[in-house]
Amino acid sequence: GNGSPTAPSYGVTGGSPRVPDITMQAFGVTIEGGFVPGVRRTGEASESPESPSGTSTFLLNVLVLATFAAGAALVVYGGVLATDGLNWELVAALALLAVLAERADMSLYGDSRISLAIVPIFAAVIGLGMPGLAIVVPLAILASAYGRPIRKTAFNFGALMLAAAAAAVVMPTTYSTNGTLDWPQILLPATIAGCVNFAVNSLLVAAAIGLSSRSSLPKVWAEHFPWLLPHYVILAAIGTAMVVAYQAMGLWGVAIFVAPPLMMRLSIKQYLDRTSKSVLDLRQAHVQLQKAHSEATDAMDRLRNAYDGTLRSLSAALDARDSETGGHSERVADLTLAIAAEMGFEEDTDEYRNLSWGALLHDVGKIAVPDAILRKPGALTSDEWQTMRSHPAAGYEILLKIDFLKTASQIVLSHHERYDGGGYPRGLAGEEIPLGARIFSIADAFDAMTSDRAYRTAMPAEEALAEVLRNSGTQFDPAAVRAFLSVYQQRFVGTVHHSHLAKTKDPAGHRELSESLKQAIAEAAGLDDEL
């Protein structure tokens, strides 16, 4: 057939792929059919995501006009060549067959058209040359023009005329008949001419499609046209045989070779009738599947937002048990995510979400710690410290039972581990500690140092930073410390670059780092004079 199920946005006329319809309103491009997302059916005014840019629109218009002008020039040239020796009987027969083939074209599942007019047109290439083509091709195009955009018809005419003329030029070069067509010797040059016809036609239409969809010509051609080559070769052979039969038997020979295309059309029609319902069902299923996917995605987003809101509420409730740590979990989570972003974590990933949830719920295990210990204003006894140190494991056990928090539970379990292995509860060291926990421990320590406690006042941000630097490589992961330094400059010294950084206030106020601290930072982090 002349229309491709794999490229349903384009049809074929007279054996050639159809250019996209070009509307007169600002030359916006619409395409026959509705299979391609963002593309409307013919006649609907729209600007789809596939619409060409200003330059592409201009080039597409130039291509359409140039193709039509070239086709018209070839018709005039063919008319000039016409002489009294032109076989008007064959002209009339082939023109009639081309018109009937175009009028009897078939809808390919509503998205493109399929026609067998290439047979009489190629017969005109073989038996009549340019003078005959100047009559047969315009009549075939006019037969299919009713109800279709003029610009589309103009391009189809030019493309078909250029392709047929190219094939006609090749025939005398590859085969000299002296007025007689010898069978089967004629098949080889006819096949070459058919390939030339296909190449010119498909490249012109691929160029139009590429300009209308902002795709490269090779890509468009490779996706939509290679499958048509065998089709062209077979139908070109039938057209050639039709002319050979005409030379031997007159119009009866033409009539005999009308049968194969008719049988082909009948076979295609029966196939389309059998499969059209399946195709329509598949389209409906595709639309329903897209809708279901969209609804599932929206539901997942709502569920994640609900998870996040629930966990933030739970975190706030936990912080409320201790008046001194109100808002601690929220601040630490925000600072943790800022450091993580500096280390390459991407938002809207499971890794990022698990880190956020683990940071928010890092102290959930304190539910198991009595208020008398949790709120004790003085120093804790050895037994009380042992109870307090049980909260990471207790929190881990709580979250482990919640499926979507299993990964986050590892952060809760490990948030008091030290990089040198001196932490608790498992004494992990280095990369044995989950990365999220290594990042979190810096944010947790910094927020604790810069917040008021019953037994001490808040430490200035510079002093807290210096403390973090002094413990780089012992308590804290040096790589995470370097990321924290970058965040510190953005938050406490320079411009805030991340929206969630603004949620935490600088207890010491925004100011430039002291020269002594700059030197300490450079020495501790090995950053030379970068700060």
Q: Residue 116 domain-assigned?
A: yes
Contacts for 261 with CB less than 8 Å, ≥ 6 apart = 101, 116, 119, 235, 238
180 and 38 share one domain: yes
Average pLDDT over residues 202-224: 82
33 and 134 share one domain: yes
Examine the pLDDT at 8 and tell me if it is beyond 60: no
- Enter the pTM of the model: 0.45
96 and 166 share one domain: yes
Q: Which of 268, 291, 317 is the last residue of a domain?
A: 268
Reported confidence tier of residue 172, pLDDT bands at 50, 70, 90? low
206 and 348 share one domain: no
pLDDT in tens, 258-316: 777 777 777 766 776 677 677 677 878 888 888 888 888 888 777 777 777 777 676 66
Say what the pLDDT of residue 347 is: 87
> The domain that contains 472 carries what CATH number?
1.10.3210.10
Angle (CA) 91 92 95, round 5°: 80
Per-residue CA distances from 487 to 241, 246, 444, 520 (Å): 80, 86, 14, 17
Q: Residue 24 domain-assigned?
A: yes
262 and 352 share one domain: no
Q: Residue 295 domain-assigned?
A: no
DSSP state of 502: G
330 and 446 share one domain: yes
43 and 170 share one domain: yes
Q: Which contacts of 339-348 are long-range, i.e. CB under 8 A and separated by 24 or more positions?
A: 339/439, 339/442, 339/443, 339/480, 339/483, 339/484, 339/487, 340/436, 340/439, 340/483, 341/498, 342/483, 342/484, 342/486, 342/487, 343/439, 343/479, 343/480, 343/483
Q: Residue 492 domain-assigned?
A: yes
Q: Which of 240, 268, 296 is the last residue of a domain?
A: 268
Q: Residue 120 domain-assigned?
A: yes
- Which residue shows structure tokens 């990089």? 419
Q: Residue 239 domain-assigned?
A: yes
255 and 376 share one domain: no
According to the per-residue pLDDT averaged within each range, which of 361-365, 382-386, 475-479, 494-498 is highest? 475-479
pLDDT in tens, 245-256: 888 788 887 888
Name the residue range of residue 471's domain: 307-525
Q: Residue 414 domain-assigned?
A: yes
Say what the pLDDT of residue 320 is: 61
440 and 325 share one domain: yes
CB 378 within 8 A of CB 369: no
- Please indicate whether residue 192 or residue 108 has the higher confidence score (pLDDT): 192
Phi-psi region of 480 (alpha: psi -120 to 50; beta: other; left: phi over 0): alpha
377 and 262 share one domain: no
Total domains, the chain: 2
207 and 316 share one domain: no
Lookup: tokens for 54: 């200003």
Say what the pLDDT of residue 44 is: 32
Per-residue CA distances from 166 to 21, 121, 527 (Å): 25, 13, 70
Q: Which of 214, 237, 268 is the last residue of a domain?
A: 268
- Please indicate whether residue 268 or residue 93 has the higher confidence score (pLDDT): 93
Q: Residue 300 domain-assigned?
A: no
Reported confidence tier of residue 514, pLDDT bands at 50, 70, 90? low
Lowest mean pLDDT among 88-92, 109-113, 154-158: 109-113
pLDDT in tens, 407-465: 899 999 999 999 999 999 999 999 999 999 999 999 999 998 988 776 678 888 888 99
CA pair distance 428, 42, nearest whole angstrom: 67
121 and 175 share one domain: yes
Half-sphere exposure of 196 (CA within 13 A, CB side): 21
